[in-house]
């Protein structure tokens, strides 16, 4: 299967390297990004150099697209990808909220929208619990202040992240509200809401936590099955907004595509 990568940030580059090193049944068809010159330098550095392609050409050359960009870019490429009958791996999961039209488009063209677990764990348990009755899903996210810089909520509320010296709650609300307030920071809660009870019933608190260098997420789910609690301390990548587990789980998802033994829900 030919894979195209849209976006060459931390995740996109990691996915390209993994494909270049070898994933059974998959090969890198090419990639696209905003900075063409920088992207071409990276793609030429691979063991098997891949081409930089404008998105329409990338789509024509690929059977699966990995979106590793932004919610705004996802809004541009998702309809094209699904209308072409190509599977779409989505990292900017917040951009999927409220997009039943994309789900319908994928169904109409016989393709799939795939969302990795990214920087969190426990989605298999949440999906299992959803078969019964879930009464509550909550999440707490703690990130170093640098990992929250530039978020619309931070800018609108004029939060001085540099002045925060102890753990501070800066946001509380639904997953839907959080994905608008922090579109590049809390895609994990979008994935959690899609796996569980939806974006309006999933609650999140966001903390700026300068004392710890890691991105920390705690998920709590209660329902007829009992209680599930998962806590993750995720090492940030060179981009403080992105934990290393985000790209590792994306690579794992791609490996699963051709797996004959699949473990987990």
Q: Which residues are catalytic?
A: 217
Q: Which of 182, 186, 175, 135 is nearest to 157 (CA)?
A: 182
Q: What are phi and psi of 210, to 5 degrees?
A: -75, -15
d(CA 98, CA 176): 9
Q: Which residues does 166 contact at the CB level (< 8 Å), separation at least 6? A: 210, 211
Sign of CA dihedral 116, 137, 152, 104: positive
- Contact present, 86 and 97 (Cβ < 8 Å): no
d(CA 175, CA 204): 6
Q: Which of 43, 95, 51 is nearest to 73 (CA)?
A: 95
**CA 160: distance to chain centroid?**
27
Instruction: Reduce the secondary structure of 171-222 to three states and give it as a string.
Output: EEEEHHHHHHHCCCCCHHHHHHHHHCCCCCCEEEEEEECCCCCCEEEEEEEE
d(CA 193, CA 187): 10
Instruction: Reduce the secondary structure of 6-51 to three states and give it as a string.
Output: ECCCHHHHHHHHHHHHCECCEEEEEEECCCHHHHHHHHHCCCCCCC
């Amino acid at each position: 299967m030919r894979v195209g990568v849209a976006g060459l940030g931390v995740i996109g580059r990691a996915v390209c390297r993994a494909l270049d090193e070898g994933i059974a049944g998959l090969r890198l068809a090419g990639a696209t990004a905003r900075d063409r010159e920088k992207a071409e330098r990276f793609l030429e550095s691979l063991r098997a150099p891949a081409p930089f392609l404008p998105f329409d050409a990338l789509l024509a050359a690929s059977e699966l697209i990995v979106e590793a960009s932004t919610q705004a870019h996802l809004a541009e490429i998702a309809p094209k990808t699904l209308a072409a009958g190509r599977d779409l791996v989505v990292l900017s999961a917040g951009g999927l909220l409220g997009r039943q039209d994309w789900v319908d488009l994928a169904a109409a063209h016989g393709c799939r929208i795939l969302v990795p677990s990214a920087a969190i764990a426990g989605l298999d348990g949440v999906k299992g619990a959803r078969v019964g009755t879930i009464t509550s899903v909550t999440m707490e996210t703690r990130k170093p202040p640098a990992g929250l810089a530039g978020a619309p909520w931070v800018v609108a509320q004029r939060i001085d992240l540099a002045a925060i010296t102890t753990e501070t709650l800066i946001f509380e609300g639904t997953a839907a509200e959080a994905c608008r307030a922090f579109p590049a920071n809390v895609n994990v809660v979008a994935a959690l809401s899609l796996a569980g009870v939806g974006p309006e019933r999933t609650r999140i608190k966001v903390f700026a936590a300068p004392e710890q260098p890691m991105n920390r997420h705690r998920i709590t789910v209660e329902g007829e099955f009992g209680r599930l609690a998962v806590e993750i301390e995720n090492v940030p990548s060179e981009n403080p907004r992105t934990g290393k587990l985000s790209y590792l789980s994306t690579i794992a998802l791609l490996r699963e595509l051709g797996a004959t033994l699949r473990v987990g829900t």
